Amino acid sequence: MIDEALDSRTRQRARSPKAHRLRMSWWLHPRLVILFLGIPFLVSAYLIPESTYIALYLSEKYVDLNFLVVGSIIYAGLIAGSFFAISTGVQSQENDVILYCRWFVWPLFVATAFGYIVWFAYPLILPGGFAATASALFDIVFRTSPGASDTLKYYVFQTIPGITTFTQFGILYATVEALLWVWGNTQKSLALIRFTVVASATLLRATLLSERLALIEIAVPVAIVFFGHSRWARTNRLLVSLTPLLGGLAVFALFAVTEHFRSWTYYQVVYPGSYLQFAAERLLGYYATAINNAALYYYYEPIQPLRHSLGSLFSFPGVGEKATASYEVIFGGNAIPHEQLLEVYANYEFNNVAMIGLLLNEFSIFLAPLAAFSVGLISLSLYRSFVIGRLVGLLLYPSWFVGLIEMSRIYYWPNQRYFPTLAFLAISLLIFNSAKVPHKIMALKRRYRQRVSN
- For residue 320, tell me if it sits in a domain: no
65 exposed, middle or buried (CB, 10 Å; 0-12, 13-18, 19+)?
exposed
- For residue 311, tell me if it sits in a domain: no
Each residue's pLDDT expressed in tens, for the chain with a length of 454 residues: 434 444 444 344 444 444 344 455 678 899 999 999 999 999 999 999 998 898 888 899 999 999 999 999 999 999 999 999 887 777 888 889 999 999 999 999 999 999 999 888 877 776 666 566 666 665 555 555 555 566 666 566 777 777 888 999 999 999 999 999 988 778 889 999 999 999 999 998 887 777 889 999 999 999 899 887 766 566 566 676 777 788 788 878 877 877 776 677 677 777 777 888 888 888 888 899 999 999 999 999 999 999 888 888 888 777 878 888 888 888 877 888 898 999 999 998 889 999 999 999 999 999 999 999 999 999 999 999 998 989 999 999 999 999 999 999 999 999 889 999 999 999 999 999 888 766 665 655 566 566 656 6
In 3D space, the residue among 286, 228, 219, 225 whose CA is nearest the CA of residue 246 turns out to be 219
Residues whose CB is less than 8 angstroms from the CB of residue 410 and which lie 6 or more positions away in sequence, other chains included: 290, 352, 353, 354, 355
- For residue 387, tell me if it sits in a domain: yes
In 3D space, the residue among 20, 436, 60, 374 whose CA is nearest the CA of residue 229 turns out to be 20
- For residue 317, tell me if it sits in a domain: no
- For residue 309, tell me if it sits in a domain: no
For the chain, the domain total comes to: 1
- For residue 329, tell me if it sits in a domain: no
The values of phi and psi at residue 359, to 5°, are -65, -40
- Could you tell me the pTM of the whole model? 0.84
For residue 41, the enclosing domain spans: 8-301+336-453
- For residue 321, tell me if it sits in a domain: no
List the Cα angle 291/354/322 in 5-degree steps: 135
- Residue 65 CA from chain centroid, whole number: 30
57 neighbors 296 (Cβ within 8 angstroms): no
- For residue 32, tell me if it sits in a domain: yes
